[in-house]
Structure 1
């Protein structure tokens, strides 16, 4: 591999020429357009470029333009594009063809030659820039994520890339890499942010974290002040809890965004979602998420939170991960958090010694021609919508979401309700537990009895008219009929009935599955 080129005085570069684009800024917990102040919600996908191939995945399967258009066609608006430090500090002049030859992956190289032949003679630096250009030309915003130092699969406690000072994570070289990328893309209208480092791990030294996070974030801001600077926490990006006692203390002129990750296997093994009562497991995981990361949007001086990684096995056979996803989506949609799904890629050119490796979490299938799971598009529909607008003067009401399917509760035009898409959701007013669920016209949701579809009625009092957000998970909507708690329940693809509530009486010992009765009240002030 070629030697690194000198990056002399990069740490002391001053401001460069800004692009003509409208950069993003922060306003409290929200990300906004710097010029208009309008909220911009990041609904992103992750695309790997940090791995041994040192180029974006998928270029061996489809032309770059097609890949970008596939992302846009699914209503995502940005890409978290990963990169490794050594790509720019040690191997910038290596050609992609030579990199692939060095890995001895002829099948992959032939795929690149077929679909994107121009990349084979490009240097690592030029190839990365070309990918960013291709994504930007499709209208996608790009966040450049420093994923790791070595070009390799991430992340292990023992890979030497986990924390400042590890054998492959030298702070000075890391700063050089950040500086190069910040400078190199200072002109690019669609590069809206840079993250400092993915999934710090192996140490809980908050003092060292504060030192280098400040150095890195201020360096990026000096060189490229138009960018959002995305800062991760400790323990694989799960923990920012130490900011409760001592906040970060700066926002770089409204450019700092905090990030977090969450998977079914974060913390305890994912088997908790099948070995514990589901309402209990969901509540415990979400409470931990709030304590360690979710709280940052609710602090006295809040920051935006970017959920820059979450995902699950889209083949559908992992019961624990399926349950996690429904639980998790209810929370992030309810809080209207910015996010990036892991991952877009259907396969990897090279991963852990193998070529053309399938990604079971990938939105695309291994052929990169169709969705691995068509259900995901519906599940994420409401997550992509701006539900809370800091500029809105409208009252707060609620959308009723069934998080397992991603469908919203809507009027059926026949005096009842049904499940459908969330493009034009029905809005409900609910002032608290034990109050009616009201529509704009004063009508209310009312139980017609156990096993029957609920009705929309002018009668807003009496049996079956008052609704409570029930269960430990706060995901069941219950009312009383004849002294018995009954809950909304998804009966079929679109139909909803009211049935005896699952697991409410003895939640700690009930292992029945309540997901058919999971409905989340999502606050919104956007009509």
Structure 2
């Protein structure tokens, strides 16, 4: 249906890169709206969301982790990990049923026999124990606001529980626990909460619509009603809508986009995409990763990614509001998937929300103090579980050109998804991987000469197999012409004599020219060998004399 190359291969220009700076100014919902595929502020400048999910929708209805650390420590870790917003989940019943949301934190934890969790909250956050659950949730919103963090209040379920099962009664309008009228009451309450907290920038209308009752007609009717309800209470809020099949399918909008009785809602509409290794049904754990990644990217583009196409009736921002993997690196399938995800998310410059912040749960599916292996934080909530992952994820914070540039200029870098680093030229002419925007160089790719050009004068050359690639002024050199090859179109190949070699990179070492991996669909099928060290992607960034910008406002 949709050609990925329409979005993946823009025209590049090459300019000088300046030292990197990080700026996280305070943002309020009053400043945000939608322009084409972007979320923008009042001036029209891009606001890129780099969020993390914080669960508050399980049976105790208390945001997780308050039994492990003072809330100020938790919010500090969110900021220091490079996130500028939180997708804070909630259950409808917390707002609509007094017997749920009217309980105190102490009463709720005690009712589930979670004495150890209650003792922890009393120790680390004693001011919470006598708050009602709705008051406690509001207090978390306030604490996040103190650190300048934007918030999306995400309606995750109706009846508080772990999510999500196909037939769990929480999945689609009209299900056992999902009364449409009560759902609207919950959205109204969440929107009212936002009126006193300008750091709440949006409402997630419903997490992962699913189940045997699901259909596009009812989805459309209810999403329109939900958006109207939120907008009537607070017309500053973004409204975030995930599609069918667990927020993975919005293909039905291609021919008939959403419309609203209140036209201004269209300038607040953001679509959501959830993407995990198991969503595609493809064999990420084995098989040729070039072919698998190419197939999965096409699936995502056809299902949701087409919404990013400029100047169409359906054009809208897409927030990948859930993605993630085992932070301990113990899942080869997840690791291989994440290489593909990084490629896609960096190239399309997607707003994103990592699943998840929490390192543990008070109780999940009957297991107390359960460890969350996908958690950003450790089980004790006192540190990041995988600092290398956080560094790699940081590459996604670099924004593409804003709709309004104000003198900012675009440039292209060569991104290495497997490390989250970019290609830089050393003084001795060899190439190395370094932080994107900090020491990375400026490149362009000439599709006529097939040369990768550095600073308009030099080109990349492959001297021979196993040797470091270099930059040279000799445009007539052997090994200076590069084709984009592989099923995923991510490998840069040059012919040196009778050999075809690909750029190959590992963090901390020179980039070398090596035998190309897994180019044919029959290769690497039953092998642990993967081509990701040879995956490189041209990505467009934005810079000024103040530095490369990571936009959070």
Same fold, TM-score > 0.5, yes or no: yes
Using the TM superposition, name which of 463-472 and 390-399 deviates more: 390-399
Give the Cα separation in 1 of the matches to 2:259 and 2:480: 48
- Of residues 244, 247, 250, the one that matches 1:240 is 250
Query: 3-state DSSP class of the match of 2:451?
Result: coil
User: What residue is the counterpart of 2:72 in the other structure?
Assistant: 65
Q: Deviations over 1:245-271 (max 9, x none)?
A: 2111356151000001000011316xx
Q: 2: distance between equivalents of 1:137 and 1:394? A: 30
How many residue pairs match? The answer is 505
Q: Distance in 2 between matches of 1:438 and 1:394?
A: 22
Structure 1 residue 411: Cα displacement: 1.6
CA distance in 2, matches of 1:402, 1:333: 10
* Equivalent in 427, 437, 442 of residue 427 of structure 1: 442
1:87 aligned residue: 94
Out of 517, 520, 523, the residue aligned to residue 534 of structure 2 is: 517
384, 398, 407: which one aligns with 2:421? 407
For residues 328-343 of structure 1, the aligned pairs below 5 Å read 328-343=341-356
Post-superposition Cα deviations, 1:426-472, rounded to whole Å, max 9, x if no partner, equal 22111337521112242111111111111111122342112222111
Instruction: Extract unaligned runs of 5+ from structure 2.
Output: 1-26, 549-553
- Equivalent residue, structure 2, for 1:197: 206
Structure-2 change in CA distance of 1:278 and 1:94 (3 Å):
same
Q: Do the aligned residues in 2 keep the contact of 1:489 with 1:496 (CA within 8 Å)?
A: yes
Match in the other structure for 1:46: 53
Asked if 1:142 corresponds to 2:159, the answer is no
Give the TM-score normalised by the residue count of structure 1.
0.93
Report deviation, 1:379. 1.1
Q: Residue 294 of structure 1 aligns with which residue? A: 305
Alignment of 1:470-485 (within 5 A): 470-485=485-500
* TM-score normalised over the length of structure 2: 0.88
> Does the 8 Å CA contact 2:445/2:452 hold for their aligned counterparts?
yes
1:398 to 383, 404, 412: 412
Structure 2 residue 277 is matched with structure 1 residue 249: no
2:33 corresponds to = 25
What residue number does 1:9 align with?
none
**How much does 1:524 deviate?**
2.7
Instruction: Provide the rounded CA distance (Å) in 2 between the counterparts of 1:110 and 1:355.
Output: 14
Equivalent runs, 1:71-470 vs 2, <5 Å: 71-90=78-97, 91-202=100-211, 203-250=213-260, 252-268=265-281, 272-298=283-309, 300-301=312-313, 302-392=315-405, 397-424=411-438, 425-432=440-447, 435-470=450-485
Aligned partners of 1:398 and 1:430 also within 8 Å: no
Counterpart-to-counterpart distance in 1, 2:464 and 2:329: 34
User: 1:414 & 1:463 partners in 2: Cα distance?
Assistant: 19
